[in-house]
Each structure stands twice: as C-alpha cells, then as structure tokens.
Structure 1
C-alpha cells in the first residue's frame, strides 16, 4: 500500500501531461482519488514498511507513530484542495499536477526511513510548491515565487550539508539519526544547518519571509496545503534529526527563543493587514512558533521528549485541518456569505476560529492542553514555558478578530453550493472529530477533564484578547478610532516585512548607487590627497630633522676629536712621570 500511495499520484500526473483534452479531463476528475491509498493505509494499519535495495542507494519507507497521523491529515487536506481545484467548471490541470507533485513529496518525506529518500522527497515537495505560488502569474505571484525559490535554495543547500554530515556520522537510516548527530565530531554545525534548513520551511522567525508573500499569491486551495501540511514537514525534519542530548542543548535554547519570537511578533504584523490570506499567513507563523517551542523543549529535556513529540503530532493534526478550513473558507465566504448557505458558512468559520484559538471543547483546547502539560518542567529564567504558551492563544484570537472584521466588511455574495464549498464543509466536519480520534486512539493522549480550573485555563487567554479587541472593533465600526491609529492596509508593515526592507535597500542602492559611489570616490580622493600631503609634510620634517642631526653629529665629532687630543696631551706627561717614579 505504501508503493501505491506514491505511485498512483505519479500516474495521474503523467496523464495530466498528455496533450489530449479528454485524457486530461479524466485525469483531473480522478486526481482527488489519488490520495485514497494513503487514507486506507493510515486507517487500516498502525505500521507499514517498504524496502527497495535496488533503488537509489537503497530505499527504505516506513510508517510510524509520527508519520501515520500527519500522512492522514496530508491526504485529507490535499484531497480537499484537489476537489476544490479539479472538480470545478474551470479545471486547472497545471495546478492539479503541481498539487499532486507536492503531495508525493510530502508523503515521501513523512514515510522516508533513510536520509537520501527524505532529502529527495523534501526537495520534490519544496520545488513543486513554486508551481502553486506562481499559478496566477501576476506580478505579485512572480515576486512571491522569486522570494520563495531563493529561500528554498538556501534551505536545500543547508539541508544537503547537514544530511551529508549526518550520514557520515552513521545516520544513513533515520532510526540512527539522533545518536549519529549526538555523537558527531561537529554536532553544533549539524544542528545549526538543520535549524536553518528546516526553519525556512517551518516559517521560523526570521526565516519566515516567504510565507506572507506566498499565501496571498497562491490560490486558496494551494494556501490550505502550504499552511496546513507543507510547513509541518520542517517540524517533522526536526523531530527526525534533532537529538534530545546535552551536546545540542545550546542550539536548542536558540531554537526555543526564535520559536517564542515567532509565536508573538507576527501578531503585530498580522493586525496591520487588510488581506484575509495575509492575516492567516501571519497566524500560521505564530502557530508554528508554538509548535516549535514545544519541540525545542523536548530537545532540551530528554525526559519529556516522548510527551512533547506526541503533543507536537496532535497539534499538527489539529492545526492542519483548522487552517485548511480557514484558507479555503476565504473564497467560500465571498461566494456564500449571503443567502441560503450563509448560516452554514458562518457556523463553519466560527468553529474553525474557536478551534484555532483553543476555546474549550474544541480540538485546539485538546492540543494546547497536552502541549502545556508536556512542557510544565521547562523554565526560561523565572517564567515557565507552560505559563507563556497560553498567551499565544491571545495573539491568535486578536488575529481572528481582525480576520472577521476584514471578511465581514469585504465582498460577500449568495452563490450556489459547488465543489469548493463541499471540500470546505468536509474539512469542517473532519476537524470537529478527527483530532479527538487520532489523539486518543493513535497517540494515546488523554482528553482534558472539563473542570472549572481547566475551563478557566483555556478561556482566560481568549477573554484577554476580547477585552482588548472588542472595544477597538466597536470604535472602528463607529469611525471613532484616533487619527494616529496605524493604517491597517499593509502600508505600515507590508506583507513580507523584512523582505520589503531588503528590497527597498537594494532598490535604493541600484537607483542611487552611481551617485553614491561617485560621492565615496570623491571623499576617498580628498582623504587620499590629505593623506599624501600629510605624509609629504612628515617626510620633509623628518628629512630636516635628520639633516640637523647629521650637522650636529659632524660638529660633535670634530669637537670630540679635539677634546680627546687635548686629553692625550695632558695625560701623556703624567703617565711618563708616573712610570719614572716606579
């Protein structure tokens, strides 16, 4: 079944490349069914393996406790995205093919049991995603794709170096990777490369630059898999290769600090956006910061590593389904936000928002509950990590309030139900049930006990955000915000934040570079002239001093000779008389 999981999508891709229109139409219709083997595989058996010693350097694929839930969610999300794209009147064979190619890479990375297959699958997924970002071929899409490809090449280069070192240390099989990295001669170099390489994909601050640009450029279905699935492959890479060992603890602290920065800083940037997909992109960066912080805690404290690994897997399942529903929900609200389907649309998006914030009785509450208690023994100075992580829900709620405002005041019509609406509805239903099932049955986690203390722990971060955000909402709706209130159209912090600053700097250098170089040349010429004059004056003074010393030396030489001659004349009689006296 593992072979069919990867082979069937490849066959559909090949059919999509056939010039004949009827074959391509049939391939589009069959595309969502290409994910069925993965769903059957994950549901029917907890483990599976496939060894192909004749392929590459020996190919090993295996489904374990990490791969199983994530592969299931990947199949569901890609299936929903393919339905939204391929089962419409305006079929998009190219977009369908790139979705299937990235799915093959994602599934291969999850199932890989050796470093060669993992790297190959990761590369297939990464570069196939460029076809999703550039699909609309607008100037914004071209710019976002250029940034994405630049970051991807850097990521792949770092990962290639890291995995070569891991294999050289004895970690060719992923089962041996942890011990190989911990015992390597240069574990710091390996871990640093791994943090950078996987950090690009996982949106780790400050390597998140591509996310706020790629999501608004890509179609909503593509954004759903970019945010719900692909970014998690970076997290899985860390789980596979970062060992819970003292030899890498310094780098784990760095990863933890960067993760917390990513959990909180993007909230401010997201609140100043007016594009729903950009807001959701910054929300993804924040949520991935939460996941990475839990993962880093497990690396720092080996005793809690199994618990943090399970918590990361559950959170990835929950976040994938919820964020997929929110991204596909953006066009659903535009098409069905009024009329007969508006109530269903409102209920579905409200559920997704509450789950993302971690409200009680949602999958988000389950995921955050287990994550919080998995890291309760990890401290940053006087503050416990378990005390900081709930505040991520405050930021998520503020971003969701901003998203609701933008979508409520945006375009909404009363369209008929279509394939996109059906795919979104399936994600909503699965999001309500699947995380609970996977958490309890597959990962062996216990659901929260809904005591008053537990309910309060889950509710207060959301209430804090409401206390801050609702007054602003009311003032904005009545047009009473102060004039100094920051613009929320992306002009204060444009999407891509640091990328825009870098582009501005490069543009300014290109525009004013000639004048700047001329100015530098003139200034350095003046400095050089002054330097020459100074050295000439110093040389003249030195020469005059030397000449004066030489003159004085000649005078003193003659004087010395005369004095010595006089002394000889005076002392000679004394010496003679002294000799006669003896």
Structure 2
C-alpha cells in the first residue's frame, strides 16, 4: 500500500474510528469538539491521492476497491473542507450537552458516507457509503425534536429508502452485465451501454441519484429537511450531502456519447429543476428555505450540464461539472452558516456578515469576479449555445433574483441587540469557508484543466453580466410583493397532493416510533455503526 493509497483508507477511517471511540463515555463527551478533525484525512487525500493506482482489498474475493479520479478529488476536497468548517461551527453552536453527543454520533456516520462515496471504487462499498449518507442524515434532521423536524425526517427517510431500493436494483443489473466476477464501478460502467437492461438500469440510476441530488419531482425532501435541521447540519445537507447524488451520476453515467439519448433527458430534467427551484423559492419567507430551493435550482443546472455533455460527448464534461458543483459546496455551505451568524449579531457588526454573504449569493447568478462566474464559465461548453444557452442564462437571472430575495429575508430576520457580536467559535469557521468560496475557484480553475480564469471571464463580459442585471431588475420589481410569501408551502408537490398527505400520515406513526428509538444514544445508529466498523475491519484485514 502506497502513501497515497493509505490516504484513501484514512479518508474513511478517521470518522469511523472517532465513531468507534464514542463507545466510551469520556470520548463521547469530548467528541463535539473534535468533529472538525474527522474530515482532514479526506482533504489530504483530495490533495495528494488523485488518480493514484486504485487500492483493491480482496477480502476473500469481495474485492473492495478504493479509487479517486480527478473530478471525485475536486468534490472530495470541497466536501471535506465544508465538513471541517461546519464541524468547528457545530462545536460552538450545539454546546456540550447530551444532545450534542447524539448529534456528533449522527454527524460522524453521515460524514463517513459523504466522504466514502467519493473514494469507493466498487458497487458494494459505494452502495454502503451511499446508504450511510442517505439514512444517517435522518438523525441530523430530527435533532431538535420539534414536530416540524420529525415530519421532515419522516419524509426524508421514506424517500431515502425508495432511493436505496432503486440503486440496489440498478446495481444488480450492472453486476449482471459485467463479464466475470468484477464489481468495480469502472467495469460496470463499461458494460452498461451494451446491457440488455440498459434503459431500465439507467432509469433506476437517475431515480436513485436524482432523488439525492434534488431533481424535480424527487426534490421535496430538501425544502423540508434543510430548514428543520440545526444550522451546521443544514450547511452540510445542502452543500455536501446532495453531492452524493451528483458524484453518482458522474461516476455511473459516461459522458462519452454512449448514453447520448439519456443525456438529452437529463438536460431537460435539469433545466426544469433549475426553474422550478427559482419559482418555488421566491415565495418563501424563511431564508433557510430559500437556500434549500436555491440548491434544488443549482443542482438542476449541474445535471443539465452533465446531460448536455453526455448528449454532445463533450470532452472534459466530468471535470467541468465537478468544478461547478465544487463552487456550490463551498458557497452554499457558507451561506447557511451566515444565517446563524446574522441572527445572533446586531448593529454595524451584522453587516460584516451580510456584505460578504451578498457577494457569495450573487455569485450563484454569475457575478463577474466571483467563484460563481468561474463556475458558469466552466460549464459554458455544455450550456453556452442555442436555446440551451438562452435557458441557462435565464436560469442564472433566476438565481440572481432568488439570491437577492434570500438577502432580503436574511436582513428581515430578527437580529440580536446592537451590542451583540458574532461568537468567535461561529465567526472563524464561517470566515474561512467564505474565503474559500471566493478564492479557491480561482486557484482550482487552471489546475482542473479548464484554462486561464482571467481569459475565461474576459471572453464575453456582456453574456456574463446580463443575467445578473436582469435578475437584479426582477428582484427590485418584486421586492414589495410580500403578499406572495407562503403561496407555495415548503415541500411544494408533496404538500399540495392530497394522496401524498395521506401517505405521509400512514407512514408517520411508524417513523415517529422509529425516531423515538433512534434518538437514544446507545441505540441510535447502532446498525449503521456496526456495519461501518465491520466493513472497515474487513478492509484492514484484507490490507494486512
């Protein structure tokens, strides 16, 4: 095992070992203050282990594989950075009570899956990591124990199980298509275009990963879960956890033209999602809900870029899409943390949070000079021509409108007293993450093989600026239309459908009983925890 391969193991091992340490009372009490450390090996792996030789752990022919290609490394690094900053923020935000210990447990389980999906190189380990990030997020969402949080957790858990079923069936079809006993993702993807069950397998993959990424109509859990969760959990839910769906689509759907027909379908779903998120978001009063719908919209743009890349067999699509999603990880995580800071600050100090947040927010519309402008430039080869280019520009205008609406709702939040200042334990992680969202895209653009960032922004400044100006004009016109607030409830399609209400009521009693059991620390996540520890033990035995 080389040093780079050891980092791939460490990326998963660090949160799993901290999770195991929670079995001892003393370590469990200290764990909330250690959460920021757990993602750091993942960050090191992203920096030093990209494109290294895959590590295959035979373990009696299970052949667990750890691998990290360049797009996955980009997303792994951003996700690890967000998890670390949000973990430091959570230490101060959650305090040191029993609730914080339970929160730390669910945090570590979810983190292990969130980072694991980027380094898993075979169907079995990817499925386990994806299940961990999907199912354990329930514990973060219901942390506060309010009826709103429990309801959001019920919907999220129900849909997560549906997504897992889709992926399990899809992976079974992929394994059947592979010639021989290999479960490597690379072999499964190579066999997919020639599989007799190609259409069914791809449809199941799109459903399973699209649900996690928040594609319409499978997005309904996001605007319920993100506002209900504690602030640091909202940041990782929106910034990092939805990227499990994006990396799944990137890893399992090749952009080499072999699935060009599905590329067009994905592009259509993505553009619909982009506009749907804007339309539902501009009538929300809660700034966290606005951000959740912004994530829906931005993931729609991400998937549209992937779909167009697949349809055109555009070279470099994987890296361009990963770069776009990387900016979202950092900027959206920073904006969620900013909500907590703005609510606890008063007087002129509040504007020390609001002004940087405004710059980050406008970056989603492509404000020149921001990381968001570089993200838009990265996917221009996929989204920059004809009708699709026009729709992409209009979606950027919609993002500007939505983000200015978010800022208006953020300013309207009840603030602290004029002498209140942000707590240092909250301020420093947010400042670091905000700076990363503004500066890292400039450092990564060239390194990702996307070209010169200054040249990219200087090619067509009018095309980059008009969506921002149009969105700002629309925001000014709608600024006083508060009568529309609340016209679309959180969860939109789910809550507007009577059958869905009845389904939720039928499942609610079961989910509430499950939640009551899962909230007790000795039982909480025990099955997932045991499974993760067992898998890690098998990996270590195979590596020995």
Mapping 1:49-60, distance limit 5 Å: 49-54=54-59, 57-60=62-65
1:56 offset after TM fit, Å? 7.4
Structure 2: gaps spanning 5 or more residues: 1-6, 507-544
Instruction: For CA contacts below 8 A with separation 6 or more, give which structure has more relative contact order.
Output: 2
Q: 1:256: how far off?
A: 1.6
Matching of residues 220-369 of structure 1 within 5 Å: 220-244=231-255, 248-302=259-313, 304=314, 306-339=315-348, 341-369=349-377
Structure 1 CA distance for aligned equivalents of residues 39 and 503 of structure 2: 48
**Conserved? CA contact 1:188–1:248, under 8 Å:** no
How many angstroms does 1:437 deviate by? 1.7
Residue number among 2, 12, 20 corresponding to 2:18 in the alignment: 12
Deviation at 1:443, TM superposition (A): 4.0
Q: 1:389 aligns to what SS in structure 2?
A: helix
Alpha-carbon separation, structure 2, partners of 1:508 and 1:289: 27
Name stretches of at least 5 consecutive residues in structure 1 with no aligned partner: 378-382, 512-582
How far, CA to CA, are the matches of 2:234 and 2:318 in structure 1? 26
> For 1:374 and 1:508, how far apart are their aligned partners in 2?
39
Alignment partners' CA distance in 1, 2:117 and 2:391: 32
Q: What aligned pairs does 1:130-529 form with structure 2 within 5 A after superposition?
A: 130-170=138-178, 172-244=183-255, 248-302=259-313, 304=314, 306-339=315-348, 341-376=349-384, 383-413=386-416, 414-449=420-455, 454-473=460-479, 476=480, 486-488=483-485, 490=486, 492-503=487-498, 506-507=501-502
Q: Partner of 1:564 in structure 2?
A: none
- In 1, the alpha carbon distance for the partners of 2:448 and 2:316 equals 14
- Check the 8 A contact 2:301/2:392 in 1, yes or no: yes
Alignment check: 8 A CA contact 2:163 2:209 kept = yes
The partner residue of 1:72 within 73, 77, 80 is 77
* TM-aligned CA distance change 1:510 to 1:393, over 3 Å: closer
Greater alpha carbon shift after TM alignment, 387-396 vs 237-246: 237-246
Map of 1:42 onto structure 2:
46
Decide whether aligned partners of structure 1 residues 9 and 204 sit closer, same or farther in structure 2, where only a CA change above 3 A counts.
same
Q: Distance in 2 between matches of 1:215 and 1:371?
A: 27
- Paired residues, what number? 490
RMSD: 2.2
The answer on whether the counterparts of 2:155 and 2:504 sit within 8 Å (CA) in structure 1 is no
Deviation per residue, 1:482-506 (Å, 9 max, x gap): xxx7430x2x210001111235764
- State the distance in 1 between where 2:118 and 2:210 align: 17
Q: Do the aligned residues in 1 keep the contact of 2:495 with 2:501 (CA within 8 Å)?
A: no
SS in 2 for 1:336: coil
After TM superposition, the runs of 4+ consecutive aligned structure 1 residues lying more than 6 A away are 508-511
C-alpha contact (below 8 Å) 2:55/2:66 kept by paired residues: yes
Task: Tell me what 1:28 maps to.
Answer: 32
| Contact 1:203–1:285 under 8 Å retained in 2 | yes
8 Å contact kept, 2:319–2:448: no
Q: Distance in 2 between matches of 1:53 and 1:499?
A: 44
Q: What do the CA deviations read for 1:3-42 (whole angstroms, capped 9, x no partner)?
A: 2221121121122343x2x432333222211212122222
Residue 438 to residue 30, structure 1, CA distance change in 2 (3 Å): same
SS in 1 for 2:490: coil
Q: Any conservation in 1 of the 2:274–2:301 contact (CA below 8 Å)?
A: yes
User: Partner of 1:66: helix, strand, or coil?
Assistant: helix
When structure 1 is superposed on structure 2, of 499-508 and 61-70 the one drifting more is 499-508
Aligned to 2:91: 86
Inter-CA distance 67–405: structure 2 relative to 1 (3 Å threshold): same
1:461 offset after TM fit, Å? 0.5
1:498-539, CA deviations, whole angstroms, 9 ceiling, x for partnerless residues?
11123576459999xxxxxxxxxxxxxxxxxxxxxxxxxxxx
- 1:453, CA displacement in angstroms? 5.8
Structure 1 position 367, deviation (Å): 1.0
CA contact (8 A) 2:262 2:307 kept: no
User: Per-residue deviation at 1:245?
Assistant: 6.2
Query: Given the superposition, is the C-alpha separation of residues 228 and 416 from structure 1 closer, same or farther in structure 2, using an over 3 Å criterion?
Result: closer
Question: 1 CA distance for matches of 2:290 and 2:504?
Answer: 31
The answer as to 2:72 corresponding to 1:63 is no
8 Å CA contact retained: 2:350, 2:421: no
- Change in Cα spacing, 1:337 to 1:349, as seen in structure 2 (3 Å) is farther
Report whether the alignment pairs 1:114 with 2:117.
no
- For residue 88 of structure 1, report the CA deviation from its aligned partner: 5.1
In the TM superposition, what is the alpha-carbon distance from 1:194 to its structure 2 partner?
A: 0.7
* Other structure's SS at 1:51 match: strand
CA shift digits 1:154-189 (9 cap, x unpaired): 100010000111111117211223321101012111
SS across alignment from 2:470: helix
User: Which residue pairs with 2:527 in the alignment?
Assistant: none
Check the 8 A contact 1:88/1:418 in 2, yes or no.
Answer: no
Relative distance call for 1:41 and 1:412 in structure 2 (3 A) is same
Report if aligned partners of 1:357, 1:396 keep a CA contact under 8 Å in 2. yes
Is the 8 Å Cα contact of residues 11 and 39 (structure 2) preserved in structure 1?
Answer: yes
C-alpha separation between the residues in 2 aligned to 1:198 and 1:508?
Answer: 23
Query: 8 Å contact 1:134–1:218 — kept in the other structure?
Result: yes
